[in-house]
């Protein structure tokens, strides 16, 4: 080809459009980027898969450790229960075997349970039933191996459960032990121990699903394998994990190695990735549509809620105001604007001092604002004064609460303000009326208290001053709280045990100021009236006493006058018969003793009547030297018939039969007969064999003798013992109350004393004293008038 043709060819080639490298470079770059992106994506997935596998391994190992720990601690707790049972009830072989068999059946990892006493002797070893196991400690053998001895000594010293260090048995198996101390009264008595093979812990405590995925083993602190769930080994340190195994501790670790490491993650990855991305794009559009729809609905609801809240804020009569954290007003409602007279645009954004603060209370308003901003505003609210725009001032109560936004952070303070001008006026009027009411009640000469019968509180609604003064230490008894008739008035008379004053207590229902029905109690002091009544009653008693004494005296005189005539005739006839007998007209052997006894008894009857008549007339007794034993026997003779009828025995204990006393024998017989009669009546409720009257005589000193009349009745209560000798006081339904009073008067006539004491083993013992013959040594022996007057004066002085 010549030069011209070459030139034309070059021109043609240069005139054609040349392809830009970007045409193929762009797809190439896109492919490369896609390959790199997918590679990075797959690598990331692979790394994530490996990381997830590692995390699962760690999680599963932790779960396995927790399972082993739970099982071991459960076994330990069961051993502690056996130890506490031994501490409370003592060691009983049957009870120990029963509890041990329960543990062995529930926990397969435990191979044996034994009780070791304080000398380290295995007293009892319990093995599982139906399961072969190695006997680590034989019964009756002293524990000598180092690890068991260490656990025994540690439990003994610390008083707490201890896990032993792992040790090899004779068969080559690795064991650990749990030692739980038994302490009775702060003294070590031994341990309850359990042997646990390490391999059994792995096989029984670790789930089967876990062992299918991992090679599980227990290694010591040096990394040496102690026990494993499989004989094969896997060298895959990246997919293994080990943790401390505590309990039993002592450097033991739980190691798990993942068996499978391959995954089918990369198969059909591209297809699934494209389909997944497409599904994600479609789902994204669906979510976007739903989100847009839900957002429109939420905006409509928010708008409706905003309108409702705005309408609600505009309708409330409580003023609402909001501050930010610096005290700037951020919101006011129409009610607040109406209260103050300022517009919302004028108040929002304003800082203190505010125009509605009164000019003379800036300092108080600033202090209230500081309390609000510092969060120390009282819960019951603050009372403040607010100035209206035209200058008038009104009282308001302000409550404060924190203003929290939707994210939970506080953005300011919300205050609610209520006009309390009218409530304050009403409260002041009520307070004034209450003060007037209380003043009137305080000035009353009566104790007033108001109680609510429906309230569980013991505190009354109102008490005046006199009620607090009168009843501070003792209150009147409660009256009927079920009164429904408001016109009904319940009244009682009550004696204050502290002040010993009488009060008339009246109670009626009334309507209280709040509309509820309450009980008002009014107490007035009626001590003066009761004293007057008491004086009148005593005057009446004295008149009755005088009348009774007059009647008794008249009766005694009449009885003595009427009985003396036939008694005198009997004595005369008897003496005549005796005279004729002595003359020989009748055989004296037959009639003489009888007639003499009739004469003696007739004279005795006359003497009794005469002495009673003299006593009624209050004459001095005719005292002379008498044998005390004869007086007692004569009194028993008069009382023997009644004692026989009542089945009562009378026993006399008089070591000095010749003891003489200065007394009127007839009157002393009357005293003894009265005391014996009272004793017989007091024992009416006893069995016949227990009815005994005992009379004891002994000397008090050289001049006084004591006679004691003892019965076995129910005794005299202490509250009536002091009144027993009062006139007309009696405990008998048909008694006159004169017997014991007359007996005391007779004894006091004789310069003695009469009293009663409770007897040992039940009953009463009446005691009286009489002067003996030694009391009149070197004195006139005749019972002259002077001696009688002295005796009467002494008796009156003692009365």
| CA angle (298, 301, 302) in 5-degree steps | 85
Gap between the Cα atoms of 326 and 221, Å rounded: 63
Which pLDDT score is estimated for 241?
77
Which pLDDT score is estimated for 782?
38
What one-character-per-residue DSSP string does 524-592 give? EE-HHHHHHHHHHHHHHHHHHHHHHHHHHHHHHHHHHHHHHHHHHHHHHHHHHHHHHHHHTSS-HHHHH
Which pLDDT score is estimated for 768?
93
Model pLDDT for residues 25-45, shown as the tens digit of each residue: 555 555 566 666 666 776 776
Which parts of the chain sit beneath pLDDT 50?
A: 1-20, 23-24, 262-267, 481, 483, 540-541, 543-545, 547-548, 550-552, 554-555, 557-559, 561-562, 565, 615-620, 733-737, 778, 780-799
Which secondary-structure segment (H or E) carries 232?
Answer: none
Gap between the Cα atoms of 586 and 576, Å rounded: 12
Return the closest-CA partner of residue 373 out of 322, 331, 303, 408: 322
Return the closest-CA partner of residue 173 out of 218, 116, 114: 218
Q: Measured between alpha carbons, how far apart are the two ends of the chain, in Å?
A: 184
Model pLDDT for residues 602-624, shown as the tens digit of each residue: 776 666 566 555 544 444 457 88
Which pLDDT score is estimated for 769?
94
Structure tokens at 214: 């991992």
Which pLDDT score is estimated for 373?
83
Which pLDDT score is estimated for 785?
40
CB 759 within 8 A of CB 710: yes
What one-character-per-residue DSSP string does 98-147 give? HHHHHHHHH-TT--EEEEEETTSBEEEEE--TT-----SS-TTPBP-SHH
**Omega into 248 within 30° of 0, i.e. cis?**
yes
| CA angle (52, 57, 59) in 5-degree steps | 90
Q: What percent of the chain has pLDDT over 70?
A: 72
Count of C-beta atoms within a 10 Å radius of residue 409: 7
Gap between the Cα atoms of 319 and 414, Å rounded: 11
Return the closest-CA partner of residue 214 out of 5, 18, 417, 64: 64
Which pLDDT score is estimated for 220?
79
> Residue 251: CB partners within 8 Å, gap ≥ 6?
220, 221
């Amino acid at each position: 080809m010549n030069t011209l043709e070459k030139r034309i060819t070059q021109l043609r080639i240069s005139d054609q459009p040349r392809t830009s490298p970007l045409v193929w470079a762009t797809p190439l770059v896109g492919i490369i980027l896609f390959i790199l992106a997918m590679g990075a994506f797959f690598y990331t997935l692979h790394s994530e898969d490996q990381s997830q596998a590692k995390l699962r391994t760690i999680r599963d190992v932790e779960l396995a450790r927790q399972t082993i720990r739970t099982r071991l601690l459960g076994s330990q707790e069961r051993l502690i229960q056996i130890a506490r049972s031994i501490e409370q009830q003592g060691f009983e072989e049957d009870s120990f075997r029963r509890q041990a068999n329960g543990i062995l059946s529930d926990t397969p990892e435990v191979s044996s349970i034994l009780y070791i006493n304080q000398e380290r002797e295995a007293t009892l070893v319990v093995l599982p039933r139906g399961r072969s196991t190695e006997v680590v400690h034989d019964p009756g053998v002293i524990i000598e191996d180092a690890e068991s001895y260490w656990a025994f000594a540690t439990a003994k010293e610390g008083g707490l459960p201890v896990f032993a260090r792992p040790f090899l048995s004779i068969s080559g198996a690795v064991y650990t032990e749990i030692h739980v101390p038994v302490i009775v009264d702060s003294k070590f008595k031994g341990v309850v121990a359990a042997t646990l093979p390490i391999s059994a812990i792995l096989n029984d405590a670790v789930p089967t699903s876990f062992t299918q995925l991992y090679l599980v083993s227990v290694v010591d602190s040096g990394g040496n394998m102690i026990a494993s769930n499989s004989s094969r080994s896997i060298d895959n340190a990246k997919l293994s994990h080990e943790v401390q195994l505590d309990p039993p501790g002592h450097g033991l670790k739980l190691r798990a190695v993942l068996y499978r490491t391959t995954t089918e993650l990369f198969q059909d990855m591209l297809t699934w990735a494209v389909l997944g991305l497409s599904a994600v794009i479609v789902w994204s559009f669906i979510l976007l549509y739903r989100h847009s729809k839900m957002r429109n609905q939420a905006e409509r609801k928010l708008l409706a809620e905003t309108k409702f809240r705005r309408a609600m804020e505009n309708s409330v009569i409580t003023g609402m105001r909001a501050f930010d954290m610096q005290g700037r007003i951020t919101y006011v409602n129409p009610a607040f604007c109406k209260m103050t007279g300022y517009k919302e645009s004028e108040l929002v954004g304003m800082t203190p001092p505010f125009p509605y603060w009164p000019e003379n209370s800036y300092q108080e308003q600033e202090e209230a604002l500081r309390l609000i901003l510092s969060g120390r505003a009282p819960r019951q609210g603050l009372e403040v004064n607010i100035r209206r725009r035209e200058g008038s001032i009104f009282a308001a109560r302000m409550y404060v609460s924190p203003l929290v936004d939707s994210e939970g952070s506080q953005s300011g303070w919300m205050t609610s303000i209520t006009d309390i001008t009218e409530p304050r006026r009403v409260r002041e009027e009520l307070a004034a009326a209450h003060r007037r009411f209380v003043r009137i009640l305080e000035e009353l000469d009566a104790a007033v208290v108001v109680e609510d019968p429906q309230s569980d509180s013991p505190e009354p609604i109102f008490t005046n001053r006199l009620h607090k003064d009168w009843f501070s230490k003792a209150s009147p008894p409660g009256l009927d709280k079920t009164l429904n008739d408001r016109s009904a008035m319940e009244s009682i008379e009550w004696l204050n045990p502290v002040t010993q004053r009488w009060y008339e207590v009246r109670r009626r229902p009334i309507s209280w100021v709040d509309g509820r029905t309450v009980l008002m109690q009014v107490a007035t002091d009626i001590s003066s009236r009761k004293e007057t009544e008491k004086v009148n009653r005593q005057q009446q008693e004295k008149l009755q006493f005088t009348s009774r004494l007059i009647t008794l005296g008249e009766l005694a005189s009449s009885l003595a006058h009427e009985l003396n005539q036939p008694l005198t005739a009997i004595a005369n006839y008897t003496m005549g018969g005796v005279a004729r007998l002595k003359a020989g007209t009748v055989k004296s052997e037959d009639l003489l003793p009888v007639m003499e006894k009739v004469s003696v008894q007739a004279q005795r009857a006359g003497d009794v009547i005469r002495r009673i008549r003299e006593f009624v007339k209050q004459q001095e007794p005719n005292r002379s030297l008498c044998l005390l034993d004869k007086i007692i026997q004569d009194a028993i003779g008069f009382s023997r018939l009644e004692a026989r009828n009542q089945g009562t025995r009378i026993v006399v204990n008089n070591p000095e039969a010749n003891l003489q006393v200065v007394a009127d024998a007839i009157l002393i017989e009357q005293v003894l007969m009265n005391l014996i009669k009272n004793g017989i009546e007091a024992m009416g409720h006893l069995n016949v064999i227990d009815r005994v009257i005992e009379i004891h005589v002994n000397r008090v000193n050289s001049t006084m003798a004591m006679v004691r009349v003892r019965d076995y009745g129910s005794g005299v209560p202490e509250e009536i013992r002091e009144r027993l000798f009062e006139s007309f006081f009696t405990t008998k339904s048909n008694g006159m109350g004169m017997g014991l009073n007359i007996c005391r008067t007779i004894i006091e006539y004789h310069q003695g004393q009469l009293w009663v004491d409770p007897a040992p083993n039940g009953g009463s013992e009446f005691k009286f004293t009489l002067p003996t013959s030694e009391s009149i040594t070197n004195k006139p022996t005749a019972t002259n008038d002077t001696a009688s007057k002295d005796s009467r004066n002494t008796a009156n002085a003692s009365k």
